[in-house]
Chains A and B, each alone.
Chain A
Amino acid sequence: MTIETRDQLINALGNNSLRVVIDKASLTNAVAGQFFSLWTATGVPGAGAAPGASPLVATKDTVGCLGFTNPVAPMRSYYAWQTLLTSNSATSVEIHDRLAHVSGLSGTVTGAQGSLSLVTTDPGIARLGAADYSDVSWWLEVYTPMGSTAVNATVNVTYNDDSTGNLVAFTLAATPRVGRAYPLTSASAGKFIKAVNSVTLSASTGTAGNFGITATRQRTAVVTGVANKLEVFDWAQLGLPEIADDACLTFIVPCSTTSTGLVRGQGKIAQG
């Protein structure tokens, strides 16, 4: 069963929806124009932890995500309503399903390190989306700041056609802070990443820190224009994305200033 009509949606919103609460503390030392994951930010939901050196599938039961109860089959879940208040103006908040993650990579290692595969660490097709992995976003995510030497990172990946290659090298800025999320983008048009095979830094940053590889699937995004003014987003504005069973819903902020700011709101997951 799916929600296919407005009547079904109205009924689900009014009579069969789950309320979720967001109250995330600000991450400081951010950089305007860059992405920051709120995974480790304190508040509600609670701060997520660095996942460790073994790749893991994240689920709705992983601390750090918006927990919810899977619907009884054949019902499905949809993100259908959201309020948002941010302490910074012009704040965008992306809601992602955090599919899989790994950490324990070091800022002082110049050899190839780390890997994360959505083939061997498989959250299931319902969460992955398109079979060619085109719905998946990949990130290098910082859990503990690295050192003050700015270095380059290159990432070796496997694409959806099983070919491999290096992504275009990019700079890890001096002392990348907690939550910094560097997007990993396919270097081959029409191909999509299904596994990260290794990360190589061009030099030691000077401090090991802790960073990792994260795979997510964006489900929706909301934006505030004015600080501390509540905005309301209905199902049409959100795109009514389906939320797969066990999805690990979390937040990524494309930062507009030097902090992510407080992020507060409530949402409804309609089931029907």
Chain B
Amino acid sequence: MTLSLGDSVRVLEPFNETFSDVYLVTEIVVNDDQSESYVLGELGAFDKKFLEKT
């Protein structure tokens, strides 16, 4: 799965209990350890494995 800026995503377990809505990818960041994270606005960063494109 490829995610891009502006994509709509759902958050998967175990975070979906808290974040149960559909969110937009607002930023893609490369962390200091070179891993990639997807920022969902004020929700903060998520690894791709916790996201599902809608």
Contacts and interface: CB of A to CB of B under 8 A. Distances in A.
Q: For chain B, what secondary structure do more than half of its interface residues adopt (helix, strand, loop), or is it mixed?
A: loop
Contacts of B45: 149-151, 202-203
A4 to B, nearest CB: 47
B35 A202 contact: no
A188 to B, nearest CB: 12
B27 to A, nearest CB: 10
A2 interface: no
Interface residues of A, number: 22
Nearest to B19: A169
Contacts of A156: 14
A110 B49 contact: yes
Contacts of B46: 151-152, 202-203
Contacts of A203: 31, 35, 37-38, 44-47, 50
B33 interface: yes
A204 B14 contact: no
Contacts of A144: none
B18 interface: yes
Q: For chain A, what secondary structure do more than half of its interface residues adopt (helix, strand, loop), or is it mixed?
A: loop
Contacts of B35: 108, 203-204, 206
B21 interface: no
A202 B33 contact: no
A207 interface: yes
Contact of A202 (B29, B32, B44): B44
A208 B44 CA distance: 18
Contacts of B1: none
Contacts of B31: 108, 147-149, 203-206
11 contacts: A149-B29, A149-B31, A150-B44, A152-B19, A166-B14, A166-B17, A166-B18, A202-B47, A203-B44, A203-B45, A207-B33
Interface of A: 108, 110, 147-152, 154, 156, 166, 168-169, 171, 200, 202-208
The 8 closest A-B pairs by CB, nearest first: A206-B32, A206-B31, A169-B18, A203-B37, A203-B45, A204-B35, A203-B47, A150-B44
